[in-house]
Amino acid sequence: MSVRKIARPSGHWLSLRYALRELRGGLHGFYVFVICIALGTMAIAGVSSLAASLAEGLAREGRIILGGDLAFTLIQREAEPNERAFLEKHGRVSSAATMRAMARAQNGEPTLVEIKAVDASYPLFGQTTLDPAGALGEALAQREDVFGAVADPTLMARLDVSRGAHVRVGGATLEIRAALASEPDKLASGIGFGPRLLVSQDALRATGLIQPGSLVRWHYRLRLPANDASDAAAKALATEARTQLPEAGWDIRSRSNASPQLERNVERFTQFLTIVGLTALLVGGVGVGNAVKSHLDRRRDTIATMKALGASGRRVFAIYLTQVMVVALASGVVGAALGAILPFAIAWMFGAIIPLPLVPALHLDELLLALLYGLLAALVFALWPLGRAHDVPVAELFRDMVASQPRRPRKRYIALTAISVLVLAALAIALSYDRRVAIIYVATAAAAFVLLRMIAALLMVIARRAPRPRATGLRMALANIHRPSALTPTIVLSLGLGITLLVTVIEIDGNLRRQFANELPLKAPSFYFLDIPADQSSRFADFVQTQAPTAKLEEVPMLRGRIVSAGGTEAEKLKPREDAAWVLQSDRGITYANNIPNGSRLVEGNWWGADYEGPPLVSFEKRIADGLGLKLGDSVVVNVLGRNITATIANMRAVDWESLGINFVMVFSSNSFRGAPHNHLATLTYPGGGKPAEEVALIRSVAAAFPMVTAVRVKDALDAVGSIVANLVLAIRGASGLTLVAAALVLGGALAAGHRSRVYDAVILKTLGATRFRLLAAYGTEYLLIGAATALFGMIGGSLAAWLIVAQLMHLSFIWVPWPAIAAALAAVAVTVILGLAGTYLALGQKPAPILRNL
Amino acid sequence: MTNNSQAGPAIALAGVNLSLGHGAARVHILKDIDLHIGRGEAIGLVGPSGSGKSTLLMVMAGLERADSGTVAVAGENLSTLDEDVLARFRGRNIGIVFQSFHLIPTMTALENVAVPLELAGIADAHDRARDELAAVGLSDRLDHYPVELSGGEQQRVAVARALAPDPAIIVADEPTGNLDEDTGKQIIELLFAGHARRKTTLVLVTHDPALAARCARVVRLRSGRIDGVTPP
């Protein structure tokens, strides 16, 4: 027979058939592989399914959350008759006013409340549920001089009052007639610092809180006629409103983006959790690589035999690649299935208490994507060892080979590995919410891998070149670190990634806690006082200084305004940087000043003189201006109280936001708002932070003397934000926990893979007279040296990553929190030594004779 | 080398040299080997340990490439074939029997025998494998895994696997080395029966002079050189 006549085997399924045949023997050696891929895929599938379920809930309930098909919000003023007429022409209108105020119980106890004053049409969509059940109109109705109110149960608990109790808000008396069990449009209002108090608009007017310049928002919700209620119709009407009434300056939202802030937060958080999931996959990938390498090492005879029987190197590669991908697929499917359960589990366990419209569903696209991540991760880490299988020499069947030196796979396999790495990175970046964060992540992950490989290589070089110690144990330990097929690279990689992640999370956690629990309260003022009527501001200042003589009061005029256009471009058409977009999203507090405000410094341009009388000028916060693409001399149009005011950017300031003092993105020249009614905003700061007792006493006396002024206790607000941050950190910790499990598994797997050679070494050394203690000491020293070197890197790497996230992405100050990081690193070293010695101890228990007979 | 497979020798080695290892550890294993083995001939390769018998066998099977000289098998110059073509060529033309059997542990006896047929793209691989196993007396062991078979049975499966693609050449490396005497005899009978029935060329590496004597010619190796051929 001639070689020219040899046809290429046609069986396309041959590789699959052989791959499956090999798997019939079970998944021995693949357990770490399976768990790693399943865990990573589960994390990604779970997070993305949950986010998709949430997005679906937000979309499905958009008009309920928004309170209408469209919502038009005005700040500090009600709609003009022509504006109201425009809305009424297009459908049914319901209005609601929201503002913060102080509610006082009959015993004088005050508390901050979020008032919502509704009309008879409220709600246009959804249901307001009262406890006890009843009609909302009835509950809010006026009876003699007293108006009805419906209160969040938290408010009733805080004031220690029950149904029927009277509370004072401003100049009005309200009777709490029911508890608010559910409020359909609660989500659109964002985070409230106080509990809700639902009243009628007559009641709100009776309080006297609505004054020119009060911080009240008027929301006009529109229900389109049933025959014209499409998303497209809603959007078209929004455009028409902007065109026909350009001076209105209202913030218009349609039901398809009922809560853009929440959606953005969900997406941003999903991205962070996906990154943690990806990290789990990458750490697990090291385990995949190890598992594939050990598997192929065990199959060298089979591979050589197949090649002796006519299988080409390419065929061998195809068979084992198929096998690895079949296992990865099965593991990924299990992981994706577990991840798919997450939204259902959360809805089942916490559905009643989470204030989000979660619609649990199977999101096949998200699950397939998670599966794709899992498969790609497996491919990235398996291709290199698989490529080596191509060149397993058949000659091994004829002569005993000492463990052959691993060598580079052929170029085509190196290229395939590189391509799959690029595809994985591209996928992670392309599908991310914030590409910048994704690119930083990919670069950091790549750097961590390369650095850890370099550290392992360096460690091996140092061990090789170190002077030979006289102590046998130490000499053996050093030799074990650098000998061919030493465990050093694997341990360094898995342990290093694990410690790096652990330290990153610990440092971020510690810094956020420090900010919210310790530093901010110390630096921040104790109170914000809102809505101080301009004509009472000096009396207010005198009163507060008498009550709190040591505290420092700062008071500034405050108006609210929306940016209509900047640098000649309409706000809707601006393309701001991610960290500056919030400025355009709703109205912002603005002020005017003659001098540079405290807590900020001039970085560009010149400040206007105290007696400046020219056209309006504005000072912009530098980072936000950069984010909006603005420069000195650009014009900014701001709508204040229904008037568009055009100002020129005269200078830029850097602001210390963390001080939580009074800071504004935009500070105007004093002549810009001449004649515009406005109130004042004040902060009160006790030197060295306020004591709870003096703060409570002050809030009571201010509430009694100035019922129109709203006091926000910063500690309470920080607690509210802090508890949200704590929940987020908890979720990150949960997801990171998965990664740490993966890291521990990979480490355990690597140590177990080295177990066979440990048994061999231990038996030989025992026959040569080594005691158990000496062997344990040698192996313990080896693990300790590798673990300590890796832990040091992990601490540095993790701290750097945390600094990058806290300082560069979150823009908060970063202080290295040493002890938890050191404790984590020590714990990781201890785990390595214990895991390693546990395996070694088993090896030491082996009787030499049976093993020597089989050598 | 031209396509004159029907006319020339089954195996033709000319001036073959081979060294293994690197640097100071490099050993010159085969030295100027010239050997022609005719079609259907049975050759015994004998010699002391380390004389290069197994290495010469590997060179004939295309498992090691010679450093110099030419190796022609079934009319093909093996040094001109790339690795993949060589693998397919081996699968169809050369059957190999190892001293340590080297069955694939995750496959049944039937599947093991079918491997070279499947790799060669033969459609009725399993039917032919079944026939080959019947021919070595293992019809009742088709679905057994190697660990469920005795050493003799495993080597019979290996012989069936080597014969299954109907190769022109069978090479066997001490096929009875891991077996007891009786079982070893049975294996040798199978190998010679296959050789006689199919007119295959048989190259047998052995330490056993009696076994070598059953071959038409015996090639003696010493220190990597051919020390003598009987009859010459």
This prediction has a pTM of 0.74
Asked whether the beta carbons of residue B63 and residue A301 sit closer than 8 angstroms, the reply is no
Q: Is the pLDDT of residue A855 over 50?
A: no
Chain B CA closest to residue A22 = B106
Q: Is the pLDDT of residue A627 over 60?
A: yes
Quick one: pLDDT at residue A168?
92
Task: Tell me which of A462-466, A586-590, A686-690, B206-210 is least confident.
Answer: A686-690
Task: Tell me which of A54-58, A504-508, B173-177 is least confident.
Answer: A54-58
> Which parts of A141-259 fold into alpha helices (H)?
153-159, 201-207, 231-244
Quick one: pLDDT at residue A852?
54
Distance CA A459, CA A581 (A): 47
Assess contact for A642 and A689: CB atoms under 8 A: no
Mapped to the 3 state alphabet, what secondary structure does A588-643 carry? EEEEEECCCCCCEEEEEECCCCCCCCCCCEEEEEHHHHHHHCCCCCCEEEEEECCE
* Chain A residues with beta carbon closer than 8 angstroms to that of B91: 309-311
User: How far apart are the CA of A27 and the nearest CA of chain B, in angstroms?
Assistant: 12
Distance CA A580, CA A623 (A): 8
Assess contact for A21 and B111: CB atoms under 8 A: yes
More confident residue, A806 or B83: A806
Quick one: pLDDT at residue A526?
82
B115 vs A22, A24, A306: nearest CB: A306
What's the first-to-final CA gap in chain A, in angstroms?
A: 42
Distance CA A500, CA A511 (A): 16
Quick one: pLDDT at residue A850?
55
User: How far apart are the CA of A324 and the nearest CA of chain B, in angstroms?
Assistant: 16
Assess contact for A356 and A54: CB atoms under 8 A: yes
* Chain B residues with beta carbon closer than 8 angstroms to that of A4: 3
B96 and chain A in contact, CB less than 8 A: yes
Chain A CA closest to residue B120 = A9
Between A and B, how many residue pairs show a Cβ–Cβ distance under 8 A? 109
Quick one: pLDDT at residue A847?
59
A1 vs B61, B74, B83: nearest CB: B74
What are the tens digits of pLDDT across the range A810-832? Answer: 777 888 888 888 998 898 889 88
Quick one: pLDDT at residue A766?
65
Grade residue A437 by pLDDT with cuts at 50, 70 and 90.
confident
Quick one: pLDDT at residue B219?
95
Q: Model ipTM?
A: 0.76
Grade residue A472 by pLDDT with cuts at 50, 70 and 90.
low
* Chain B residues with beta carbon closer than 8 angstroms to that of A21: 106-107, 111
A313 vs B81, B84, B119: nearest CB: B84
Asked whether the beta carbons of residue A2 and residue B75 sit closer than 8 angstroms, the reply is yes
Grade residue A318 by pLDDT with cuts at 50, 70 and 90.
very high
B76 vs A3, A24, A301: nearest CB: A3
Mean pLDDT of A794-805: 89
Q: What is the spatial order of strands in the sheet that B11-20 belongs to?
A: B27-37, B11-20, B68-73, B76-77
Q: What are the angstrom distances between the C-alpha of B228 and each of B43, B73, B199, B204, B231?
A: 13, 22, 25, 16, 9
Distance CA A116, CA A114 (A): 7
Distance CA A776, CA A781 (A): 8
What are the tens digits of pLDDT across the range A657-685? Answer: 766 667 888 999 988 887 778 888 898 88
Helix and strand numbers (H, E) in chain B are: 7, 10
Residues 39-58 in B contacting A (C-alpha not used; CB under 8 Å): 54-55, 57-58
Find where tokens 């593991």 sit. A331
* Chain A residues with beta carbon closer than 8 angstroms to that of B88: 3, 6, 8-9, 310, 312
A306 and chain B in contact, CB less than 8 A: yes
Asked whether the beta carbons of residue A306 and residue B104 sit closer than 8 angstroms, the reply is yes
Chain B CA closest to residue A23 = B106
Quick one: pLDDT at residue A418?
94
Quick one: pLDDT at residue A580?
81
Distance CA B29, CA A115 (A): 96
Residues 374-413 in A contacting B (C-alpha not used; CB under 8 Å): 393-395, 397-399
Torsion sign across C-alpha atoms A692, A695, A697, A703: negative
For B202, half-sphere exposure in the C-beta direction (CA atoms, 13 angstrom radius) is 30
Grade residue A4 by pLDDT with cuts at 50, 70 and 90.
very low
Which among A546, A49, A19 is positioned nearest to A306, based on CA atoms? A19
Quick one: pLDDT at residue A764?
65
**Structure tokens of B72?**
């022609």
What are the tens digits of pLDDT across the range A190-235? Answer: 666 788 999 999 999 999 888 877 888 899 999 998 877 788 888 8
Q: Which residues of chain B fall below pLDDT 50?
A: 1-5
Q: Is the pLDDT of residue A756 over 70?
A: no
Grade residue A619 by pLDDT with cuts at 50, 70 and 90.
very high
Chain B CA closest to residue A5 = B89
Q: Is the pLDDT of residue A406 over 70?
A: no
Asked whether the beta carbons of residue B5 and residue A1 sit closer than 8 angstroms, the reply is yes
A21 and chain B in contact, CB less than 8 A: yes
Asked whether the beta carbons of residue A308 and residue B102 sit closer than 8 angstroms, the reply is yes
Mean pLDDT of A85-99: 93
More confident residue, A807 or A97: A97
User: How far apart are the CA of B116 and the nearest CA of chain A, in angstroms?
Assistant: 5
Q: Is the pLDDT of residue A762 over 80?
A: no
More confident residue, A647 or A734: A647
Q: Is the pLDDT of residue A402 over 50?
A: no
Which among A809, A790, A256, A185 is positioned nearest to A511, based on CA atoms? A809
The mean pLDDT of chain A is 84
Quick one: pLDDT at residue A1?
42
Mean pLDDT of A582-611: 85
CB neighbourhood size of A181 (10 A): 15
Grade residue A836 by pLDDT with cuts at 50, 70 and 90.
confident
* Chain B residues with beta carbon closer than 8 angstroms to that of A24: 106
> Which of B106, B122, B126, B200 should we substitute to test contact with A (largest number of A Cβ atoms within 10 Å)?
B106
A164 and chain B in contact, CB less than 8 A: no
Chain A CA closest to residue B4 = A2
CB neighbourhood size of A673 (10 A): 22
Residue A380 backbone phi and psi in degrees, to 5: -55, -45
B178 and chain A in contact, CB less than 8 A: no
Share of chain A above pLDDT 70, in %: 91
What are the tens digits of pLDDT across the range A534-545? Answer: 888 889 999 999
Torsion sign across C-alpha atoms A253, A256, A259, A265: negative
Those residues whose C-beta lies under 8 Å from the C-beta of residue B125, and which sit 6 or more positions away, are B114, B117, B118
